[in-house]
Amino acid sequence: MADEVLVKVDHVSKKFCRDLKRSLWYGVQDIMSEVTAQKYEHELREDEFWSVNDISFELRRGECLGLIGPNGAGKSTLLKILNGLIKPDKGRIELRGRIGALIELSAGFNAILTGRENIYSRGAVLGFTKEEIDKKLDAIIDFSELEDFIDTPVVNYSSGMKVRLGFAVAAQMEPDVLLLDEVLAVGDVGFRAKCFNSIYKMMENAAVILVSHSMPQINRVCSDILVMNHGQPVFQGKDVPRGIDKFYTYFEKGDEGLVMGNGKAVINQIELESNGKKEINSIKYLDELILHINFTVDASIDKCCLNVVILNQELQNIVQCNSLFHDFEIPNLKQEIRVKLSLGEISLNPAIYSISVGINSISSHNTVGDVLYKNYSVKKFKVVGDFFGYAPMQLPGKWEILC
């Protein structure tokens, strides 16, 4: 059934203790309380904390839940609870069908066994018979692209090779519930594309839970989102872009970017202007943005070029403007140089962006020379307005209805 609920998590909580000796003693107490049918359900004891606190959600066949949050938010703990590796202290979990999990790169692998032997071992754990694994063996090896190393002990595999093998087994075994924890961060771009296509196919008959710090990955495959912080749910629902926006609010405060170069140039000041107002830190969507960049260059440099890049919250280059590309020559005035750069209407979606500024010398062949100065985040600004989605830029498309 397409709308069948495969994962039901009802007010699940899990606590841990920071002190090892005290944790062992608490464990003895909990075991004794269960033996005597008096389960310990008090609030936190000394040195205890909630790693997961009151999490509830349902996931149906055909849905993919993106589980995101800062480091230490409790995402991996929740996945381990779902996979049965640890038991919750409170709440109830219902899982239907076969469970496939890639929670850690080496989880479920025996290092001294070969890749082929580990396929049979992992398949057996998932509940498949040897005959069923025999039928899928060629497809698993083909998907992993490890034909030349399938009979090599896994201890000699790289992290990327382990991911390939683990994901291939999980995907080709066609689980009803698939749990993925940061495993796609290691694979190369070609294999990641193959994995995404595989996830799309599995979502037709499975429920997928994906933990990742890569928001493009989350936005690409997830139909639902759950944002966690300090073990608690802070946002959940089907509005994936707003969940991602909530995730980014935890990283709005940051240090200035890394400065590099040979020291023969320095930025003295950079100001933003919009609608005639200077020294602003935010602009409205589709407003004009003007940059005022004041800098000085060492007297030994005859002329230079400016490179301005706008980066998104993933620190990925979104747009770039280079003075040399536009045949705009900047001579060294032997004093402070003041440049005004008009970027026109900004069609960036509402979010926080960083401006990277680089100053390079110009060689005798009129090409970019030495890096005199570069700051990867010399200035931050915010685009405000209605939230349109996670894609960083809106294209100025022309819409028509043709009869």
CA distance 26 to 20: 10
Element (H, E) at 179: strand 177-181
The CA-atom distances, in angstroms, between 64 and each of 12, 157, 217 are 19, 29, 12
pLDDT tens-digit readout, 156-199? 998 888 888 888 887 777 889 988 887 666 667 788 888 888 88
pLDDT higher than 70, residue 37: no
Among 196, 132, 189, smallest CA distance to 167 is for 196
What is the value of pTM for the model shown? 0.79
Are residues 267 and 306 in contact, defined by beta-carbon separation less than 8 angstroms?
no
For domain 259-384, which CATH number applies: 2.60.15.10, 2.60.120.380, 2.70.50.60, 3.10.20.70?
A: 2.70.50.60
Residue in the structure block whose two tokens are 């970019």: 368
pLDDT tens-digit readout, 269-326? 999 999 999 989 999 998 999 999 999 999 999 999 999 999 988 888 999 999 999 8
CATH topology of domain 5-251: Rossmann fold (3.40.50)
Least confident of 41-50, 60-69, 233-242, 371-380: 41-50
Q: Structure tokens of 225?
A: 């989102």
pLDDT tens-digit readout, 61-107? 989 999 999 998 999 899 999 988 888 988 999 999 888 777 765 55
CA distance 97 to 35: 30
Among 46, 56, 24, 403, smallest CA distance to 237 is for 56
* pLDDT value for 232: 94
Domain layout of the chain by residue ranges: 5-251, 259-384
CA distance 67 to 25: 32
User: Residues of the chain with pLDDT > 70: what percent?
Assistant: 93
Mean pLDDT, rounded, for 143-163: 90
CA distance 106 to 113: 12
What average pLDDT is seen over the chain?
A: 87
DSSP one-letter code for 148: G
Q: Structure tokens of 80?
A: 């381990």
DSSP one-letter code for 156: G
